[in-house]
Chain A
């Protein structure tokens, strides 16, 4: 149950687009279309922003989009805004009937 690999930090200027990668194995990210992404502001509950690789829950901005290729999933935030500054985690179901988070990425809006 090793954590999925994410970059520790990503930054961008307001209005720019950024992409966060999430690399796993064929036993988790690559083997299932059950990757989700969470936005987490310190002291608050994590917020689901993408589920099943590329689906947005109702109420989540369409500036957030997800994709997957092989063992790597990606989250793209377009039109970056100050409120997007937070920690982001990918999450996947695994072959061993368990779940695993990514290592987390701190997004900074310059």
Chain B
């Protein structure tokens, strides 16, 4: 069955960096776009960005553009999110999600990993 498992979260100081991973299994990873979505404490879901199946096309929310980078290793079935220049407001649970072939919704999600940005 489809499984997505995020890891790499933790406590980090403002201005520092962190890399999240999402290990995928149970499907052909290289044929699906992959998304990152986050939820800050007490807030709603926020789309962070997407990488298309070949890893060459990436799109980001304005709030993270220039600071966050999505990448993928299709040989290892792993999705990454590099978080640079972290701000207190980046504190959130970060989810990865598998895009449907149509590209417009995600049926499979991980359980998330918590990133806390605090001095």
A residues apposed to B, CB below 8 Å: 1, 3, 32, 34, 36, 38, 40, 44-48, 51-52, 57, 87, 89, 91, 93, 97-104
Contact = CB atoms under 8 A, between A and B. Distances in A.
The range of chain B's interface size is 20 to 34
B95 A46 contact: yes
22 contacts: A1-B61, A1-B62, A3-B46, A38-B45, A45-B95, A45-B110, A45-B111, A45-B112, A47-B109, A51-B100, A52-B104, A52-B105, A57-B107, A87-B44, A91-B45, A97-B59, A98-B59, A98-B60, A99-B47, A101-B37, A101-B44, A102-B44
B44 A44 contact: no
A45 B109 CA distance: 6
Nearest to A97: B59
